[in-house]
Structure 1
Amino acid sequence: MAAPVAVCHVACCANRAGGGVVSWGRGGLLAFGSCHDVVLYELAARRAAATLRGHAGRVNCVRWVRRRDGASETELISGGSDKQLILWEWNGTGKWNNQLVKSIPLKGHAEAVCAVDAVYQSDEPDLNLLIASAASDSTVRIWSRHGSEAKCIEILQFGNGFVMDVCLSFLPGSNVPILACGGDDCKISLFIQQNGQFQKTLILPGHEDWIRGIEWAVCGEDLFLASCAQDCLIRIWKVCTKSKQLPETEDDSIRLKENVFTVKDTDTTYAITLESVLAGHENWVYAVHWQPSFSKDGSMQQPMRILSASMDKTVIIWEPDKESGVWLEQASVRVGEVGGNTLGFFDCQFSPDGSMIIAHAFHGALHLWKQATVNKKEWTPEVVISGHFNSVEDVQWDPEGEFIISVGSDQTTRLFAPWKRKKETEVTWHEIARPQVHGYDMRCLAMIGRFQFVSGADEKVLRVFRAPKNFIENFSNITGIPMEKLYSHQSSDLPEGATVPALGLSNKAVFEGDMAVQPAEDEETFNTISNQYPEIYFQPLILTEPPPEDHLLQNTLWPEIQKL
């Protein structure tokens, strides 16, 4: 009888692509593109539920198809550098896996697909699905899915321009689809389906640089559009039905400019106005998303909150003030990365209930924050999946078989170990340390002791590393292995941790006496260059769970003890 084999851990991260490579479904599954696959991550269980394979190139965009009734999604659409889209359909029973998922390829684009969106044209998901996709061939294609067949029904040409994001919705009080496209012309193009064809109806100017993200939200009888661009600004537009008779009064002498258009099919006039301009980011804003709507008392409710991600390393929650109605940055809700060799965020998402937010960093890492139950203004980092953002070149077990170390061409060495919780029987694996963050692509690895390894990179130098005292203590706390088993007679001589000099490649050991003591408040300090830019970034912390990404970036290094 053959022994059963099951996957207990998948280490991966999101692709380094802007345009929505991460999507959080109402069923609690986080879908993201990782290399050529679409990974479905179950946040509650902290494990990868499934890996959907079908693309022959990098996955650039992933989107759950939202149901109108607020139920959990059963369909997912992805686009990749292989010039095709794939519609993944789940039969609604059992768990997501390759056996229970039917895939429908949509081929036609001449270049890589960079953005996608889809909406159901009725409350019945089985009837008709409308899909919009943008690609590097300067076109937006409209697809229609009936049953198990999908075909391209229209191609929108954009000349030599590029569309960075697309979003579909319906005009207020109707089933008339409206498509918003944002691109490198710094304008939002609105297309409305009339007589079966999408016609360009309006162009919304205002942004002064490439538009990176757009998203619709239905709130009562109104339709809102949020857009973000490389001009560091976020704009919110409002679409509403315009009354045929509006008497002019003296109070109407100063009003916002309205863009008015009429839909011939329904003979209804609509007005679009600029609701607000949000300035708070200091670099390109790559993504903006509304908090997902939810079903309450038989109707869908849309919270007026948006989340934005920027290259300034911050993620901000915005919402209108209850008294004045002015959109403001929510007090104390600005999270992100501090320090490390990072370059900001590509994307962000709200959880279905809005109690958690996730951000996709430039280097592929996912950051998860959860709202505190007592103090609603406090957001704390949570454990989330992590892995190499480029090819894995080598992997080794430690001599006792209690953890694994891997190296990759993303210039990092990562250590994975099981997390054993006291009150839970299930054990999950996580990245608990990043012993080496290098300046060259890593190529090879060998374990030479209980907590020692040697690694090689493109620089053609072999470096030997040994675990510091702080790592061994945290390794014991996370894995549940007693300290007596881990400590050797040499452990008393181990350094506390390690740090990398600003212009160096070698991890320098940090001993207990090296760590600077914080001066008292009344003590006078000299503002010297060395005080402004300290060499020691390491701060010893006792962990009881896997560390978040910003801790892994610079606080889990191992000191280098030999160079060959």
Structure 2
Amino acid sequence: MVASVLEASHVFCCPNRVRGALSWNSGPGGLLAFGTSCSVVLYDPRERVVVTNLNGHTARVNCVQWICKQDGSPSTELVSGGSDNQVIHWEIENNQLLKAIPLYGHEGPVYAVHAVYQRRVSDATLRTLMVSAASDSTVRVWSKEGSAVTCLQTLSFGDGFTLALCLSFLPNTDGIKMEFAVTLETVLAGHESWVNAVHWQPSFYKDGVLQQPMRLLSASMDKSMILWAPDEESGVWLEQVRVGEVGGNTLGFYDCQFNEDGSLIIAHAFHGALHLWKQNAANPREWTPEIVISGHFDGVQDLIWDPEGEFIITVGTDQTTRLFAPWNRKDQSQVTWHEIARPQIHGYDLKCLAMIDRFQFVSGADEKVLRVFSAPRNFVENFCAITGQSLNHVLCNQDGDLPEGATVPALGLSNKAVFQGDIAPQPSEEEELLTRAGFETHQMAFQPTILSEPPTEDQLLQNTLWPEVQKLYGHGYELFSVACNNSKTLLASACKAAKKEHAAIILWNTSSWKQVQNLIFHSLTVTQMAFSPNDKFLLAVSRDRTWSLWRRQDTISPELDPIFSLFAFTNKVTAVHSRIIWSCDWSPDSKFFFTGSRDKKVVVWGECDSSDDAIEHSVGPCSSVLDVGGSVTAVSVCPVLNLSQRYIVAIGLECGRICLYSWKKTNQFPEVNDWAPCVETSQSQSHTLAIKKLCWKNCNGKTEQKEAEGPEWLHFASCGEDHTVKIYKVNRSAL
């Protein structure tokens, strides 16, 4: 029932920045498991979709390991360890969580886990042996039989710190042996920095005999991954293939993995990105980059849909702005979403975002400057090619003199536009060698690239920046919130503040980029702002536990900027919320607005009369107080009503759960039975940390299919501190 009403259709994330956070299941069609913030994500590299999220840890997941079966079939169990001092054993059935068993005992973060199946000689029963290492300088050995798990032994290493561990069976041994003969086979020298991971290609059965391919994969901080194998004639171990990152602000690889047959290899980079390569069947020495999941590697602070619902833009404390869009393939009806551009790579943590036009946005970071970006021609061309839209239709609404792309100068901080005449020709191989021989600095310049599929990580880093077209100065402290009106003529921004003069809202004209007005009312940081759909009102909520409503005054001349005056507000006497108000949003008819607070309450206010003779201070609470049972961090109202003509409200909580309610004014005093619960996310659908933003899509239709399935499907996106962005689909007829 729940699955048919609300589903998480697309998930964007990447592995945590630690060694061991990645594991590839052996067997045909094996899933990739990795830790993202407090979750373990199961990802299908062939279908390019997230299968499910395993939520159970309360702090960062540091290590993940599938428990490989000896017959080479896909595993159904995995183990993870986290900074919450927990080890969790997960059991999977049909790609969904069947059972989770937490193992307690460590007194510090768990950084390494491993597990194997062991069959008892006496009674042939199967048990699972697990080992875990933590920063408390201990290694614990666990045994699982059925649903019972016991700690067999705790090994203490004093002041030592175990970085890695592995369980292995010696061949042809059923008992205990204490004698070993070890010889040095070879020294593999090829990396130029720390080697963080080595992995053997998984073994497999051939004609009933277990085969172990002699291929070894290594990942290093020198930005490369090397595939090693012995020479068929001499037996000397040689480098077969070297792949890796080129250019960009990258710092090498944490981990690497083979798939079940060794035809795919994957690397986990320092900044969380995954790099996937596929072996050419005709030429085994040739490996080509493949499309793989990507996302933020730190908290995602804000997101917004484009006005036509074709893509979303997000910003995060990983100092990047990312753009996600659907990939429409002619030969497939299924549509998957991917990161197709990284318009901004900044030096400050990004906090807020607003769309000014379809291909223009403004972002605010932990600095005093707002920055405006516009899409270059190369992005528009690639966007149309990937999403299947008409290039002429999209370009007809754009400025004819679009730059080709953007680049960051060697000593610059801003994305500089690159026009057709600025593009330098690609150097030949001989020129490249001469440049390197002369020790000249090679700067990665923009080169236009026509894509028919989502870009790889290297292309995202180097070729998808948007030019910065304007800087807006005026705030005295770090930016915190920004909003644009629906006619795209006014921009409102606010910064962190501890005094009334610093908490002022600044209005900007989006044509001249000049300040229009300062709106002074709040005494602490304005946490969120929202223009009403009819652009008559501007709503602001604040850390000072109050909200303010500003009404636009029509000017005599249309050439003059509109002026806003304070229309209504709450104070210590009239306030309903007793804690910080984090979020606000408007009903689609501009009559009501909704506020959500840390005090677990959601309140509806109104009615807002936009006529000239409207009475000031006439806006008050017009709903019963909804207690959702947790701190409210995000509120968003659907632009369409449900079939009963009730407003649909999505509420995001600090715990990561999302609740959908419907509301309708009953005209009773006091209001009763005006709120109705609809559905809430399950544990696997929820975020694991605080939700920072919810945003409904303006357009209807399924985001998985090329053909929209009608107005019964609604979509909204969410982002949170758990590094994750999700797109949900909602069955309107079931609300």
The superposition leaves residues 335-391 of structure 1 with CA deviations (integer Å, 9 ceiling, x where unpaired) of 000111110000000010100100000111100000112111111100000000000
Matches within 5 A, 1:41-120: 41-90=43-92, 92=93, 95-98=94-97, 101-120=98-117
Report what 1:286 is aligned to.
196
Q: Does structure 1 residue 501 correspond to structure 2 residue 409? A: yes
Distance of 2:438 and 2:322 partners within structure 1: 31
- Percent identical across equivalent pairs? 63
Distance of 2:407 and 2:54 partners within structure 1: 39
Q: Give, in angstroms, the shift of residue 399 of structure 1.
A: 0.9
CA contact (8 A) 1:23 1:30 kept: yes
1:42–1:490 distance in 2 versus 1, CA, 3 Å: closer
Letter in 2 for 1:80: G
Matches within 5 A, 1:217-366: 262-263=177-178, 269-330=179-240, 333-366=241-274
Distance of 1:338 and 1:429 partners within structure 2: 25
Distance of 1:524 and 1:453 partners within structure 2: 37
1:530–1:392 distance in 2 versus 1, CA, 3 Å: farther
CA contact (8 A) 2:247 2:444 kept: no
Q: Give, in angstroms, the shift of residue 489 of structure 1.
A: 5.4
CA contact (8 A) 2:35 2:63 kept: yes
Report what 1:437 is aligned to.
345
Report what 2:141 is aligned to.
142
Q: Give, in angstroms, the shift of residue 515 of structure 1.
A: 1.2
Q: Does structure 1 residue 384 correspond to structure 2 residue 292? A: yes
Matches within 5 A, 1:356-505: 356-488=264-396, 490-505=398-413
1:36–1:126 distance in 2 versus 1, CA, 3 Å: farther
Distance of 2:402 and 2:298 partners within structure 1: 32
Q: Give, in angstroms, the shift of residue 531 of structure 1.
A: 10
Distance of 2:432 and 2:43 partners within structure 1: 51
CA contact (8 A) 1:342 1:362 kept: yes
The superposition leaves residues 521-552 of structure 1 with CA deviations (integer Å, 9 ceiling, x where unpaired) of 89999969999336561111100000011110
Distance of 1:22 and 1:400 partners within structure 2: 38
Distance of 1:153 and 1:533 partners within structure 2: 57
CA contact (8 A) 1:83 1:111 kept: yes
Letter in 2 for 1:283: S
**What is the DSSP-based 3-state SS (H/G/I as helix, E as strand, rest coil) of the residue aligned with 2:400?**
helix
Q: Give, in angstroms, the shift of residue 97 of structure 1.
A: 2.2
Letter in 2 for 1:480: G
Report what 1:541 is aligned to.
449
1:514–1:376 distance in 2 versus 1, CA, 3 Å: same
Report what 2:30 is aligned to.
28
CA contact (8 A) 2:135 2:161 kept: yes
Distance of 1:418 and 1:525 partners within structure 2: 40
More displaced stretch, 389-398 vs 6-15: 6-15
Distance of 1:74 and 1:329 partners within structure 2: 34
CA RMSD after TM alignment:
2.4
Letter in 1 for 2:91: E
CA contact (8 A) 1:22 1:347 kept: no
The superposition leaves residues 2-55 of structure 1 with CA deviations (integer Å, 9 ceiling, x where unpaired) of 983322210000001113434344342000000000000011111000000000
Distance of 2:146 and 2:429 partners within structure 1: 70
Q: Does structure 1 residue 19 correspond to structure 2 residue 20? A: yes
1:405–1:291 distance in 2 versus 1, CA, 3 Å: same
Report what 1:154 is aligned to.
153
More displaced stretch, 521-530 vs 368-377: 521-530
Distance of 1:298 and 1:522 partners within structure 2: 52
The superposition leaves residues 235-285 of structure 1 with CA deviations (integer Å, 9 ceiling, x where unpaired) of xxxxxxxxxxxxxxxxxxxxxxxxxxx53xxxxx43121211111100000
Q: Give, in angstroms, the shift of residue 151 of structure 1.
A: 1.1
Distance of 2:109 and 2:371 partners within structure 1: 40
Distance of 2:410 and 2:383 partners within structure 1: 28
1:273–1:512 distance in 2 versus 1, CA, 3 Å: same
Matches within 5 A, 1:202-217: none
**What is the DSSP-based 3-state SS (H/G/I as helix, E as strand, rest coil) of the residue aligned with 1:553?**
helix
Letter in 2 for 1:306: L
Q: How many pairs are equivalent?
A: 468
More displaced stretch, 307-316 vs 530-539: 530-539
1:383–1:151 distance in 2 versus 1, CA, 3 Å: same
Of structures 1 and 2, the one with the larger relative CO (CA 8 A, separation 6+) is: 2
CA contact (8 A) 2:33 2:41 kept: yes
**What is the DSSP-based 3-state SS (H/G/I as helix, E as strand, rest coil) of the residue aligned with 1:475?**
helix
CA contact (8 A) 2:228 2:238 kept: yes
CA contact (8 A) 2:307 2:358 kept: yes
- Structure 1: 5+ residue runs without aligned partners? 177-193, 195-261, 264-268
CA contact (8 A) 1:22 1:360 kept: no
**What is the DSSP-based 3-state SS (H/G/I as helix, E as strand, rest coil) of the residue aligned with 1:376?**
coil
The superposition leaves residues 383-432 of structure 1 with CA deviations (integer Å, 9 ceiling, x where unpaired) of 00000000000000011111000000000000000000001000000000
Report what 2:174 is aligned to.
175
- TM normalised by structure 2 equals 0.61
Q: Give, in angstroms, the shift of residue 326 of structure 1.
A: 1.3
The superposition leaves residues 292-334 of structure 1 with CA deviations (integer Å, 9 ceiling, x where unpaired) of 011111121100000000000000000111111111111xx10
CA contact (8 A) 2:24 2:258 kept: no
1:531–1:494 distance in 2 versus 1, CA, 3 Å: farther
Report what 2:605 is aligned to.
none
**What is the DSSP-based 3-state SS (H/G/I as helix, E as strand, rest coil) of the residue aligned with 2:214?**
coil
Report what 2:640 is aligned to.
none
- Structure 2: 5+ residue runs without aligned partners? 473-735
Distance of 2:431 and 2:263 partners within structure 1: 42
CA contact (8 A) 2:444 2:462 kept: no
**What is the DSSP-based 3-state SS (H/G/I as helix, E as strand, rest coil) of the residue aligned with 1:473?**
helix
The runs of at least 4 consecutive aligned structure 1 residues that moved more than 6 Å come to 123-126, 519-531
Q: Give, in angstroms, the shift of residue 115 of structure 1.
A: 0.4
Letter in 1 for 2:17: R
**What is the DSSP-based 3-state SS (H/G/I as helix, E as strand, rest coil) of the residue aligned with 1:272?**
coil
| Of 106, 116, 119, the match for 1:122 | 119
Distance of 2:401 and 2:239 partners within structure 1: 49
Report what 1:209 is aligned to.
none
Q: Give, in angstroms, the shift of residue 125 of structure 1.
A: 10
Q: Give, in angstroms, the shift of residue 71 of structure 1.
A: 1.1
Distance of 1:11 and 1:80 partners within structure 2: 21
Report what 1:222 is aligned to.
none
CA contact (8 A) 1:118 1:130 kept: yes
Distance of 1:548 and 1:398 partners within structure 2: 23
CA contact (8 A) 2:26 2:72 kept: no
Report what 2:470 is aligned to.
562
Distance of 2:397 and 2:32 partners within structure 1: 45
The superposition leaves residues 155-209 of structure 1 with CA deviations (integer Å, 9 ceiling, x where unpaired) of 1111101110000011221135xxxxxxxxxxxxxxxxx5xxxxxxxxxxxxxxx
**What is the DSSP-based 3-state SS (H/G/I as helix, E as strand, rest coil) of the residue aligned with 1:287?**
strand
Letter in 2 for 1:4: V
Distance of 1:306 and 1:294 partners within structure 2: 15
Letter in 2 for 1:167: C
Q: Give, in angstroms, the shift of residue 504 of structure 1.
A: 2.2
Q: Give, in angstroms, the shift of residue 126 of structure 1.
A: 7.0
